[in-house]
Amino acid sequence: MSTQSILGLFQQPESAADAMDGLKEAGFELGTFDVLTGTPYPEGAFGEYVPQHRLFRFPAFGAIIGFTLSIFLTSVTQLAYPMVTGGKPILSIFAMLIIMYEMTMLAGVIATVIGIVFESRLPNMKPGIYDTRITEGWIGVVVTFDDDSKVADAESVLNKAGALEIKHAK
Partner 1 sequence: MQQRRELDQVYTNRKLLNGQLDTPKWWAPTVTILGIVVVLGLIVIAVMINKGLGMTGLARPVYWGLFITTFVFWVGISHAGIMISAILRLTQAEWRRPVTRAAELLTVFSLLTALVFPLIHAGRPWRIAYWIMPYDLARGIYPNIRSPLNMDPVAISTYLTGSTLFLYIALLPDLGNLRDRTTGWKNAMYTVLALGWRGNPRQWKMQTVGGILLSALMLPIFVSVHSIVSWDFAVASAVEGWHSTIFAPYFVIGAVHSGVSAVVTMMALMRWLWKWDDFIRPEHFDALARLLIVVSTGWLGFTFLELIFALYGQDAPEIALREMQMFQWPWNGLFILFFLTAYAIPVPMWLFKRVRTNIALMFWTSILVNIGMWLERFLIIVPGLARRTPFVYTWEAYRPSAVEWTIFIWSFAWVTFLMLLFSKFFPLVPLFEQKESQVFTTDVMIGRAKVPAIIREAD
Partner 2 sequence: MASEAVAHESEHHAPPPQVAADVIAQELIATTTGATGRFKAWAWILGILSIAGIVALIVKFIDQGDDSTKWGYVAAMVSFLLSLAGGAPMVAMAPVMAKANWVRPITRIASLFSFAGVATLIMLIPLVAILPPLVTEGARRRTVWFMAPDYSPHFWTTLGLVLLLVTGIMLFYSAALPDFASMRDHSTGWRQRLGKRLARGWVGTDAQWRTLRMRIGMFGTFYFFILVFVNFLISTDFGQSMVPGWRDAIFPMYHTVSGFQAGVAGVVIALYFSRKYMKLEKYVHMDAFWSLGRLLFALTLLWIYFFYSSFIVFWYGRSENDIATLDLLIKGPMMPVFIAAMLLIWFVPWWILIWNKVRRGTGAMVVGSFIILIGLLLDRIRTFVPAWSVPPDQIHEKWLKVIPDAYWPSIFDVLIMVGGISLVALIVMLMTRVIPVLSVWQVQEFNLLSKPIKYIRGHATLVAKPD
- Across-strand partners of 167? 7
Element (H, E) at 154: helix 151-160
Minimal distance, residue 133 CB to partner 1, in Å: 8
Beta strands in 30-100 (DSSP E): 33-36
Sites of contact with partner 2 (CB under 8 A): 13-14, 17, 20-21, 41-47, 52-53, 55-56, 59, 86-87, 94, 98
Nearer to partner 2, 33 or 145 (CB): 33
- Across-strand partners of 76? none
Minimal distance, residue 17 CB to partner 2, in Å: 5
Q: Which amino acid is at 65?
A: I
Q: How far apart are the C-alpha atoms of 53 and 59, rounded to whole Å?
A: 13
Sites of contact with partner 1 (CB under 8 A): 34-43, 46, 48-51, 53, 55-56, 59, 73-74, 77-78, 80-81, 83, 85-86, 88, 92, 95-96, 98-99, 101-103, 105-106, 108-110, 112-113, 115-117, 119-128, 130, 132, 134-137
